[in-house]
Structure 1
Amino acid sequence: MRQVSGDGSFLRRLNQVAVLRALRETDGATLAELARGAQLSRATTEGIVETLLQEGRAEEAEPTEGQRGRPARRFAFRAASGHVAGVSIGGSGVTGMVADLGGRVVARRVENLPPEAPAAERLSAAAELVERVCAEAGLTPDRLSAVGVGTTGVIDGDGRVVKSVVLSDWTGVPLQEELGRRLPGPVLVENDMRLAVLSEHWRGAARGRQHVLYLHTGSRIGLGLLLGGVPYRGAHAAAGELGGHPNSRWRAFTHVLDYAMAVEPGELRAPSQAALFAVARARAGDEGAARAVEAFAVGLAEGLVSLVTPLDPELVVIGGSLAQAGELLLDPIRRCLAETCLFPPEVVTSELGADSVCLGAVRHALTHAEQVLLG
């Protein structure tokens, strides 16, 4: 068995990590509370806290309100001591965010790009966006602890796009390697749907839930699975990626496409545009539109049954642009699942909207930064 007791620097590092963990778990704690949380002596804890204050990784917190007498000093982790970036690369363009180590987003920017843009242009746009969003946050990219990136397609363990049917010239791109050349620091690439369900679990509709199915409804249908609190990748990192499936748009769209064509025969609409057109008219009182939207929702629910039954999630989150349909979409889905499933899950819409993937990328980067920070 390896002996470590004589390695003073190693022990100091272990003790510092213990105090940092205790700081991260509270909004403010006294030395005595930190010592108990870190299982260290008060004297050792005090020395470490003073070091962390000097390094800018800890700060004095406000005293507890209503406390009598001279309040004891309280300390907290200084979230602004480090930052991460999150980037979402999709069919409509690139979104970038910078957040501190507490997860507070301090800057956000969007760059529009068409799906047919060449890979080189998309890579340059992503790297340049990180630089611009860092500038807005008062940082330079070399000060980022990590950059999380979410994109459509099958993403392998090395951050390579194995296959993408949404973005042209994207299949085969070694995305993590290419962005790593353009940006300082660690770059971490993951599938967009897995990051979407991760962000909903972090600070969206799935907070506190462990088994979640995230259904993206928009220009395409996509899935993100959270099993046991962890996004599920699958044997080939292709879990939830429906882009190559022959019914990847699902037959449900037929109802709203037929309705839109009947109402305005000369107007060609994409499936998601037809769905939003029908939703708007249903809200205006058009009974035909309401029937089309309900049939569309039932079609989605019928597809969900084959997933809900074997996976048994506690929650289904509807995301993507069509989530704005709200109860027009949710009610038929709930009824269908209630009639069919042994344990029908709760069904809600996303609380994060278009930012779900980018926020998931931020969370992905934060996980890496925390692992480095806490050893």
Structure 2
Amino acid sequence: MNDSVDDLAELEGLRRAGANQYDLGSFNEAVIIETIRLAGTISRTEISRRTGLTQQSVSRILRILLQQGLLVEEAQERAERLGKPRTPVRMRSNAAHAVGIHIDPELLTVAVVDLDGKIVRRETVDLADGLEAGKLIDLTAATVTAALSISQVDPASMLGVGVAVPGPIDRDGSLLALPLQPAWRGLKIRKLLQERLNHPVLVEKDGTAAAIGERWIGRSARARDFAYLYLGTGVGSGLILNGSIYRGGSANAGEFGQIAALRMGEWDPEDGPRMVPECNPTASLPVIAAEFGYVETDPGATDEAKRYKAVCKAAAEGDAAAVKAVTQVARVVGQGAVGLVDLLDIDLVVLGGPAYMKEISEIFLTEIGRAVNAHPVARETRPVAVEESMLQTDAAAVGAASTIFHDAFTPRVSGSSQARRLPK
């Protein structure tokens, strides 16, 4: 198996972790699970090599995990040179499930997701302006219950419920502010949903959830550090640093709009950062396009989301005004990305979210890639790759479910800041 330098560095970290044996039971099990997850399918010998654990320890732990049904053996392969048969193992996709919820100001998305990140059942519900907080909880709980019932997943395989929301949030999983739905301010989402659903609930900012999902689904391709730029109602970011999700001291890391405001000079000495319209692409793109002379001809473009999609479609078809507008938005987002990658010294930016559409992907990839590679450090020392998300438009919902898997299976040493949050 040919591993990239980044993959080997990630796995070397796992090897050292396995050898240390901080927790002889659950920790080494988690190290082995993470190694299998990164590889997809892998032999016992290779697990031993990558983790530094003895083959006897690997075999013992794999026997337990196979008996539990978390893993499955593939057909035997003939090992090269030695001629001995080997039986690779992989994670059994339906061994565990999680529900991912994305609460957007205008749309509720609920997805039942398996260990491979495949959506088993998906439900969406439009949310009315001014929807009362209590009714939001009622609607969300009912939608989750319906999705689980229709999916027919084994209840014993359900690990928990992840919720992705626009920030900011507090450590208890409550919304602190949401301009488009002010009635939701202070809503104790985690507490209320946990009571209604009788499952553990974790709450993340949407950008953070998307980054976790990208790392989980991407396996070895996303084993390195990266910033996930989440384009939705606004632009947020999720950060994977030193192989772990970075949430910050209050779980609100990744307030991308403020970085963009600094880069664009939108800053008041007394009041701080001003709103940058381009950091709300869904709302600003149709307005900017009109300023460039774009004329909407689609009679079905009757609301903000539809107008946004119409401009994106027009840009893909070569409408000059639409192309100029998309380029302007992409360049402003690119300036925010410059601040992010230069501050954190990362070499991968991932683009995704519902506002990142295939019709405008080439413009965004080009403009952001140009911006983050325009400075001497990037050109000479750290070229920055800009890539599309593997999660596409359901990034936040799948990412929210992945927070449950990440919490349940990712290895942690004693005293780690990445403490387990689900009950054992």
Distance 1:71 1:265 in 2: 64
- Deviation at 1:73? 7.3
For 1:131, the equivalent position in structure 2 comes to 145
Distance 2:285 2:86 in 1: 66
Structure 2 residue runs of 5 or longer lacking an equivalent are 1-22, 259-272, 411-419
Distance 1:58 1:302 in 2: 44
For 2:160, the equivalent position in structure 1 comes to 146
Distance 2:408 2:140 in 1: 21
- Deviation at 1:183? 1.3
- Deviation at 1:315? 1.7
Distance 1:283 1:269 in 2: 20
For the Cα contact (< 8 Å) 2:257–2:336, is it kept in 1?
A: no
For 2:75, the equivalent position in structure 1 comes to 62
Distance 2:220 2:63 in 1: 38
CA deviation profile, 1:40-74 (whole Å, cap 9, x unmatched): 759x967x877766654555543326999996777
- Deviation at 1:99? 3.1
- Deviation at 1:39? 3.8
Task: Tell whether 2:299 aligns with 1:260.
Answer: no
Task: Tell whether 2:275 aligns with 1:247.
Answer: yes
Could you tell me the TM-score, scaled by structure 2's length? 0.69
For the Cα contact (< 8 Å) 2:117–2:398, is it kept in 1?
A: no
Which of 395, 398, 421 is 1:356 aligned to? 395
For the Cα contact (< 8 Å) 1:57–1:81, is it kept in 2?
A: yes
For 1:203, the equivalent position in structure 2 comes to 217
For 1:366, the equivalent position in structure 2 comes to 405
- Counterpart AA for 2:352: G
Distance 1:180 1:251 in 2: 33
Is the alpha carbon distance of 1:333 and 1:321 closer, same or farther for their aligned partners in structure 2, counting shifts above 3 Å?
same
- Deviation at 1:20? 7.9
Distance 1:99 1:176 in 2: 19
For 1:301, the equivalent position in structure 2 comes to 334
- Deviation at 1:112? 2.6
1:182 match: secondary structure: helix
For the Cα contact (< 8 Å) 1:119–1:170, is it kept in 2?
A: yes
- Counterpart AA for 2:316: R
For 1:292, the equivalent position in structure 2 comes to 325
For the Cα contact (< 8 Å) 1:31–1:73, is it kept in 2?
A: no
Distance 2:28 2:249 in 1: 35
Distance 2:399 2:190 in 1: 16
Distance 1:90 1:206 in 2: 30
Larger radius of gyration: 1
Task: Tell whether 2:232 aligns with 1:193.
Answer: no
- Counterpart AA for 2:331: V
Distance 2:187 2:156 in 1: 24
Distance 1:359 1:366 in 2: 11
For 1:5, the equivalent position in structure 2 comes to none
Which of 330, 337, 342 is 2:372 aligned to? 337
Structure 1, 145-154 or 115-124: larger mean CA deviation = 115-124
Structure 1, 187-196 or 138-147: larger mean CA deviation = 138-147
Is the alpha carbon distance of 1:58 and 1:249 closer, same or farther for their aligned partners in structure 2, counting shifts above 3 Å?
same
- Counterpart AA for 1:146: G
For the Cα contact (< 8 Å) 1:252–1:299, is it kept in 2?
A: no
1:163 match: secondary structure: coil
Task: Tell whether 2:327 aligns with 1:327.
Answer: no
Q: How many aligned residue pairs are there?
A: 360
Structure 1, 99-108 or 123-132: larger mean CA deviation = 99-108
For the Cα contact (< 8 Å) 2:232–2:280, is it kept in 1?
A: no
Structure 1, 268-277 or 168-177: larger mean CA deviation = 268-277
For the Cα contact (< 8 Å) 2:210–2:396, is it kept in 1?
A: yes
CA deviation profile, 1:208-249 (whole Å, cap 9, x unmatched): 353322223343222222222333222332222367963153
1:247 match: secondary structure: coil
Distance 2:244 2:84 in 1: 45
1:97 match: secondary structure: strand
- Deviation at 1:347? 2.0
- Deviation at 1:172? 0.7
Distance 1:102 1:293 in 2: 34
For 1:9, the equivalent position in structure 2 comes to none
Distance 1:17 1:130 in 2: 32
Task: Tell whether 2:228 aligns with 1:214.
Answer: yes
* Percent identity over paired residues: 27
Is the alpha carbon distance of 1:218 and 1:70 closer, same or farther for their aligned partners in structure 2, counting shifts above 3 Å?
closer
